[in-house]
């Protein structure tokens, strides 16, 4: 192959003119262009919203989930869940580097891709037989292609691979939380919804690190409450269903002495949390919708309908320095690290 498009448009099979993320189908041909990199894939990390949707749709049947994921990859040439629109990321070993690739990767390096699987050409050659369909992490073998404008991080050697993979999957959240909290004139009050999850717990740590005045964690039940209490990542923890807007807002308000949060971070993996987040946020505050289950129309029309003067940000998975920042938070906080390990399990 000759030099490709830096954004990968030469890999789009259909529809013509689309960029890879919006494409229905990509071409995962293993022959690389001069500016591409080929990765030998070892493990996929499915996006939490995507995995939950698949789990719900198949009633938790691992074989059916596996067959569905295999079908999506084979049909689309990428892991792009057509229902949630989300993907995940992967780890593997650099297998070939085109002479014009600007990514600075070397053959043999172990890397995590930091661009979504929804735009990464992917071919699997083991029919996902190493995976039981019961977890977000998918051991597999195959190859993936990175474009000139993709990003990847060399895996650290001081953390287990599956842990690093889970951290890097959500590393955009803490970096964005740090930026938003740090730019406020006064120390902010922060509410993190879905706080015991991966992006949620990292967001709590980032809010503290950025100088938040008060950090409130919203969790689903007593089990998550106990887990988080033990980790000491928040000033207060409230138990609330994020899809129940009035109750959620009442509880956040109570924890913040009658004011909404200056910054609200939505880290749940289910739909229907937009209105609760809006009602939980103070006038002039900011909401970060990191969740892939967020509906733009529900958020925009909900805020308008509530006459809520809030800024709403879509959680961009890319913030410069995001990978190192998230890994450093994990390295620097044993409780946070234990919480993560508890969630992703020991290395399999």
> Least separation, in Å, of the C-beta of 292 and ligand NAP?
3
Rank residues 20 and 98 by Cβ distance to ligand NAP and give the closer one.
20
Rank residues 12 and 265 by Cβ distance to ligand NAP and give the closer one.
265
Token pair 């229905």 is at which residue?
A: 24
> Least separation, in Å, of the C-beta of 75 and ligand NAP?
21
Secondary structure (DSSP) of 134-168: SSSEEEEEEEEEE-TT--EEEPPSSS-HHHHHHHH
Tokens linked to 64: 């059916």
> Least separation, in Å, of the C-beta of 268 and ligand NAP?
4
Q: Residue 41 to residues 20, 47, 138, 318: CA-CA distances in angstroms? A: 19, 17, 10, 22
Rank residues 39 and 204 by Cβ distance to ligand NAP and give the closer one.
204
Rank residues 28 and 87 by Cβ distance to ligand NAP and give the closer one.
87
List residues binding ligand NAP (CB under 6 A): 47-49, 86, 169-170, 172, 194, 196-200, 220, 224, 241-243, 267-270, 290-293, 315, 317
> Least separation, in Å, of the C-beta of 19 and ligand NAP?
17
Distance (Å, whole) CA 99 – CA 5: 15
> Least separation, in Å, of the C-beta of 166 and ligand NAP?
7
- Residue 274 in contact with residue 287, Cβ under 8 Å? no
Residue 247: CA count within 13 A, CB half-sphere = 10
Q: CA gyration radius for the chain?
A: 20
Rank residues 67 and 239 by Cβ distance to ligand NAP and give the closer one.
239
> Least separation, in Å, of the C-beta of 107 and ligand NAP?
28
Q: Which residue is nearest to ligand NAP (CB)?
A: 197
| Residue 257 buriedness (CB in 10 A; 0-12 / 13-18 / 19+) | exposed
Rank residues 157 and 347 by Cβ distance to ligand NAP and give the closer one.
347
């Amino acid at each position: 192959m000759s030099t490709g498009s830096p954004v990968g448009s030469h890999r789009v099979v259909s529809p013509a003119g689309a960029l890879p993320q919006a494409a229905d189908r990509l071409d995962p041909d293993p022959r690389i262009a001069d500016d591409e990199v080929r990765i030998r894939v070892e493990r996929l990390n499915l996006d939490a919203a995507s995995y939950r949707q698949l789990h719900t749709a198949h009633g938790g049947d691992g074989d059916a989930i596996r067959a569905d994921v295999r079908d999506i990859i084979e049909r689309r040439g990428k892991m792009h869940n057509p229902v949630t629109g989300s993907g995940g990321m992967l780890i593997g070993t650099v297998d070939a580097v085109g002479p014009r690739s600007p990514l600075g990767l070397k053959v043999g390096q172990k890397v995590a891709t930091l661009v979504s699987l929804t735009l990464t050409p992917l071919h699997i050659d083991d029919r996902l037989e190493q995976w039981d369909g019961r977890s977000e992490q998918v051991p597999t073998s195959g190859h993936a292609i990175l474009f000139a404008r993709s990003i990847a991080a060399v895996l650290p050697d001081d953390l287990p691979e599956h842990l690093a993979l889970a951290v890097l999957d959500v590393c955009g959240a803490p970096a964005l939380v740090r930026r938003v909290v740090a730019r406020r004139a006064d120390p902010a009050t922060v509410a993190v919804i879905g706080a015991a999850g991966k992006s949620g717990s990292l967001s709590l740590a980032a809010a503290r690190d950025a100088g938040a005045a008060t950090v409130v964690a919203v969790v689903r039940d007593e089990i998550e409450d106990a887990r988080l209490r033990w980790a000491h990542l928040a000033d207060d923890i409230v138990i609330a269903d994020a899809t129940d807007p009035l109750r959620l807002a009442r509880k956040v308000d109570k924890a913040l002495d009658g004011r909404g949060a200056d910054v609200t971070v939505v880290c749940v993996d289910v739909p229907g949390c937009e209105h609760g987040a809006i009602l939980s946020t103070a006038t002039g505050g900011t909401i970060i919708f990191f969740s892939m289950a967020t509906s733009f129309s529900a958020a925009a029309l909900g805020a308008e309908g509530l006459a809520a003067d809030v800024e709403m940000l879509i959680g961009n998975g890319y913030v410069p320095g995001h990978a190192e920042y998230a890994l450093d938070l994990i390295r620097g906080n044993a409780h946070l690290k234990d919480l993560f390990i508890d969630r992703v399990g020991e290395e399999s």
